[in-house]
Every structure is written in C-alpha cells, then in structure tokens.
Amino acid sequence: MSAHTDKFLSIENVGMEFDTKRGRFEALRNINLAIDQGEFIALIGHSGCGKSTLLNMIAGLLYPTMGAVICDKREVKGAGPDRGVVFQNHSLLPWLTCFDNVYLAVERVFGEIEGRPKLKERTQKVLELVGLSHAAQKHPDEISGGMKQRVGIARALSMEPKVLLLDEPFGALDALTRARLQDELMGIVKQTGSTVVMVTHDVDEAVLLSDRIVMMTNGPSATIGQIVPVDLERPRDRLKLVAHPRYIDCRRQVMEFLYQKQLRPAA
Amino acid sequence: MSAAAGIESTSPPVGEAKPETAKLVMVPPPKKRLSPTLQKFVEVVLPPLLGILLFIGVWALIAQTSGGRLPGPLKTWLSAVEVFSHPFYVKGPNDQGIGWNILSSLQRVGFGFGLAAVIGIPIGFLIGRVAFLNAMFSPIISLLRPVSPLAWLPIGLLVFKSANPAAIWVIFISSIWPMIINTAVGVSRVPQDFLNVAKVLSLSEWKVMTKILLPATLPYILTGIRLSIGVAWLVIVAAEMLTGGVGIGFWVWDEWNNLNVEHIIIAIFIVGIVGLLLEQALILIAKRFSHEYKA
C-alpha cells in the first residue's frame, strides 16, 4: 500500500486485536484510508464497530496490532500534541480553570520557544476563537456542557495540531447547542485549514461537516464498508442544505448503509 | 420535662407560630404553621438533644441501681468541674493536670501520625503508579494490616528501649496502612480520560504528577488521613495504659488504681470529644480541597 504514503495522513492495512478472557478478539481488520491535508473526514458506524478505536490509533493512544498509521511521513508510535484530540466527555481537568486547562497545552507545545506573556496571549486568543473569553477564569463544573466541549476544542486547537481528532464531540449535547457548535466548528476549520477526523453517529452531522463520510461495517472484524464523498460547496448552510438534492442523496446513501446493509440485530 | 423547656427557651419569638404556652409546646401545631427557625430547630437540634438527655437518663438510672459503685451524671459533672479548674498543675512526674495529659497524648499521636503520613503517602503513590511495586508490596500489606496495633508494642519497647518512642511507634505502624492503601487506590483510580489527556499533551512526568495525579488523588489521600487519625487516637489510650508516663491513657489507668471512677468516666468523654474534634477538623479540610473536584 505504498501508494498511500504520499498522502498527509494514511492508515495502512491496520488491524486491531484485543486479548480478552475468551481469547483474541479482532476488533478491526484491514483498514486502508488516505486523507489529504485540510480534508474533513467523518467516521460513522453503529456503536461497537470500532470507530473510536480507529480514532485512538490515529491519536496514538492505541497501537495497531497490524499495519501502521502514517502522519506527515512518520509512523505514529505514540500520542503527541501534533494530533489534537477532542474527547467525547471533554476530559477537562476539574481542578484547573478553563484558562489553565488550555494553558497547560499551550505551555507544553510552545513553552520552550515563547515567554509567558506570549503563551498567555495564545491561550486568550484560542479561547476567543471558541467564544469563551468571558468564562476563562471559571472552573469546568461552573459552565454548561456546550461550553466545556468548546474548551476541549480550544485546548486541542491551541496546540496547532497537524490533525484534529474529534471523538463524538457533540454527542452529549442537546440539539440546539450541537447545531451551534457544528457551525462554529465549520468556521474554525475554515479559518485554520485543519485536517479533521471526526467520529460521529449522527448522519446529518456527518453530511453537514465532512468532505468524505467513511462508513464502517459492524464488528467484530469491522472494516471500512463504503466511502461517500460529500461534494457540497462550502461554506455550507444547514437551512439551504435541507432541500439540496446532493445533500439528500448523501444522507440517503449513509442511511441505506447503516439501516439496510449494516442493520444490527436487536441486541 | 426538660426537652419541652429546651424548646421554649430557644424558640425565637416570631410570628403567629410562636408557641407562647407550655400547652402549645407539648402538642406542636401543624408543620406548615411552624416558623422556619422553629422548623429547623425541630429537625436539627431537637433529635440530638433528646438523644443526649436519654443517654444521661439511662446513665443516672444505672448509677442509681448500682448502689453507688458507678457515679451518676451529677457527681461526674462536679468532679469534671474540679478537674478542669486546674488543668495545668504539675505535682511530680506521674501527677499532672488533665491539660498536660491531653497534650502529651496529642503530641504522641502527632508524631506517630505525622511520620506515617510522610512515609505512607509517597509509598502509596508509588504502589498506585507502578503495577510491579503493587504486586510486590500488597502481600506484605495484607499480612501486616490486620495485626492488632498493640501487638507491635513489645517490638517498639525492644528496639527503642523506652516507653515514649515505643508508643509513637505503635501509632505510626497502626496509622500508616490506611494512608498507603487509600493513596494507592486513589492513584490507580485516576480516570483514564485524564491520563489520555496527559498522553496527548505529552506532559512531563513532573507535570503529570502535579497537574493530574496529585489533584485527582487528593480526596483519597484526605480520606486515608481521616481514617488514620481515627485509628491513631483509638490506639493511643491503649498504648499509654501499657507504657505509663503522662497521657490520657495513663491517666485512665492511674485513676483505676486510685478507684476514682468519676475520673475514668471523664476521661472517656475527653477521648470521645477530642477524637470527634480531630475527625471534624479533617472533614473540614477535606471539604475545602474537594469542592473543586466534581468530575
């Protein structure tokens, strides 16, 4: 699969097996995916299909038992700040203020080359980007779920990562907050030109945000079942898209995949 | 009845709910008509007050039926007033005021407990962080932890050849286990999410320690400290009974030899109250530190 290596981020023949009490369990098999710089990828599939596992392998939090993940011409061998992760449950440190949560990341990445005032300025700036300057000195338990997730995004963005990895970032939010954050995320990605891989189980979210939707088959031994390119021009407006024939078509394709081809027998 | 008198004297004179007469007090008006202050009094102050009164009543009854061998509440109270009116007298090495006795005991507990914290918490940290050390030490801890604290006293006497360090040693050895175990459990229960954050940020081990592990483990450490100080205070009385010198435990033993039963009962109350105060102080500290930690 050397043809993939010229891509920015490439997942080559990746497989993942876990040792369980009942022997080896193959979670993922034979995953091949190449991602361009600046591309927005949505990973979608039924729960338990291993999409978070795949994301964690790109992040370097898990190491594949087969194949390799190549990011910017180097094999991913561990987690690092060049791949910023926004966790599903925000994972902010509750004993630090929002500012300090972001500052911890900024200090780690730029602490050796920049002085304190510059680091603070960076932190302020990225909090401004997600619209949270006013809550900088609050602790995570004093702000809403949507705000926490925005701090999580700010923390990931503050490291100026090559790749932004989002693990169902808006899954726990109400529909209105989710829509607002999706719009904000589109704005931020447009501004920063980030390469993004996002795990989601929301069909509309996948179509609205991504350039390609990667759909995974059901586990065990899950793999990529189908890829739907979303060739809708940006900036995208959720209201105008509702009636857009291409949007409807993409949505239909994903729905058909999830609910016809990969329908889960009732657990 | 004294309980009713209690209500009357402390209920504030507000609004129509205020029970002016003894009759109204005996038959409380419906709940909705109670003033908030009175309501609070009935819910918060009254039950413990009744409990204490019941306790004193039962005590007086038993004292009465024992034919004078067990002193009653009044006799004990008068004796306590006397004991506490000269708390810091010194009439030789074995006859000192109650204040000195309490302070000596607290000092021993402080030394033994402090030493246990200084050694136990870092050990707990290492055991919780390094699986190998955990596997290495957990059999020893499991074996030594259930040993009665006083069984360590002869070892202490043998090694230190003196009563005071032996007593401190017993406090140390009995209060170190809760601190080791709680700290280790706390470290091993730091949510994986936080450790993932540390990995993604590639934080240095020092930053992981100070920004993630220590704050995340603090509530557990404080629980360990609270349990330890409870154990330490429990053990000191028994240890001092055996070692002698100045201290609340020795005082109990001395008064037993003098057959001064009032003083023994006073000592029981002192031990209880000091233990309660120590515990409450640590709960207060724990609350202060854990209010930020609502994961």
DSSP state of A46: S
| Residue A206 falls inside a structural domain | yes
B215 contacts in chain A (CB < 8 Å): 93, 95
Q: Is the pLDDT of residue B16 over 50?
A: no
Coil, helix or strand for A30?
strand
Q: How much of chain A, in percent, has pLDDT values that exceed 70?
A: 96
Confidence class of residue A7 from pLDDT cuts 50, 70 and 90? confident
Coil, helix or strand for B42?
helix
Strand bridging mode A40-44 / A195-200: parallel
**Nearest CA-CA distance, residue B123 and chain A, Å:** 24
CATH number for the domain that contains residue A225: 3.40.50.300
Q: Say what the ipTM of the complex is.
A: 0.84
User: Choosing among A71, A104, A143, A165, which should be mutated to test the B contact, i.e. which has the most B CBs within 10 A?
Assistant: A104
Best CA proximity match to A16, nearest among A44, A56, A46:
A56
Residues A46-59: what's their mean pLDDT?
Answer: 90
Q: How much of chain B, in percent, has pLDDT values that exceed 90?
A: 34
Q: Is the pLDDT of residue A163 over 80?
A: yes
Best CA proximity match to A171, nearest among A188, A156, A152:
A152
Nearest chain B alpha carbon to A81: B201
| Residue A214 falls inside a structural domain | yes
* Alpha-helical runs (H) found in A51-174: 51-59, 98-110, 116-129, 145-158
| Residue A17 falls inside a structural domain | yes
**Nearest CA-CA distance, residue B216 and chain A, Å:** 8
B200/A83 Cβ within 8 A: yes
Which chain B residues touch A if contact means CB-CB below 8 Å?
193-194, 196-197, 199-203, 207, 211-212, 215-216, 292-295
Does residue B173 contact residue B235 with C-beta atoms inside 8 Å? no
Find the helix packing angle between B98-129 and B131-144, rounded to 10°: 140
| E-state strands within chain A | 9-20, 23-35, 40-44, 66-71, 74-75, 83-86, 163-167, 195-200, 212-216, 224-229
What is the count of residue pairs from A and B with beta carbons less than 8 Å apart? 55
**Nearest CA-CA distance, residue A91 and chain B, Å:** 6
Rounded distance between C-alpha atoms, residue B24 and residue B258, angstroms: 50
| Residue A54 falls inside a structural domain | yes
| Residue A31 falls inside a structural domain | yes
pTM of the shown model: 0.74
Q: Is the pLDDT of residue B10 over 50?
A: no
pLDDT digits (tens, 9 = 90+) for A239-262: 999 889 999 999 999 999 998 887
Cross-strand pairs, B62:
none
Highest averaged pLDDT of the listed ranges B88-102, B191-205, B281-295: B191-205
Nearest chain B alpha carbon to A92: B194
A80/B196 Cβ within 8 A: no
Highest averaged pLDDT of the listed ranges A80-84, A98-102, B13-17: A98-102
Rounded distance between C-alpha atoms, residue A162 and residue A197, angstroms: 11
Coil, helix or strand for A228?
strand
What residue numbers bound the domain in which A238 lies? 1-76+164-169+201-267
Instruction: Please give the structure tokens belonging to residue A49.
Output: 């299909």
Burial class (CB in 10 A: 0-12, 13-18, 19+), B172: buried
| Residue A123 falls inside a structural domain | no
Backbone angles phi, psi at A149, to 5 degrees: -65, -35
Q: How many domains does chain A have?
A: 1
Rounded distance between C-alpha atoms, residue A99 and residue A87, angstroms: 18
A93/B201 Cβ within 8 A: no
Confidence class of residue B81 from pLDDT cuts 50, 70 and 90? confident
Torsion angle of the four alpha carbons A186, A192, A193, A195, in this order, in degrees rounded to the nearest 10: -80
The verdict on A151 touching B (C-beta cutoff 8 Å) is: no
What does the mean pLDDT of chain A come to?
A: 89
Residue found by looking up tokens 């945000």 in the block: A209
pLDDT of residue B32: 59
B211/A139 Cβ within 8 A: no
**Nearest CA-CA distance, residue A209 and chain B, Å:** 24
Cβ neighbour number for residue B157 with a 10 Å cutoff? 18
B200 contacts in chain A (CB < 8 Å): 59, 61, 79-81, 83-85
The verdict on A139 touching B (C-beta cutoff 8 Å) is: yes
Strand bridging mode A195-200 / A83-86: unpaired
pLDDT of residue A47: 85
User: What are the residues whose beta carbons fall under 8 Å from the beta carbon of B23, sequence distance 6 or more?
Assistant: none
B208 contacts in chain A (CB < 8 Å): none
| Residue A138 falls inside a structural domain | no
| Residue A144 falls inside a structural domain | no
Confidence class of residue A137 from pLDDT cuts 50, 70 and 90? very high
Nearest chain A alpha carbon to B203: A108
Burial class (CB in 10 A: 0-12, 13-18, 19+), A241: middle
A95/B215 Cβ within 8 A: yes
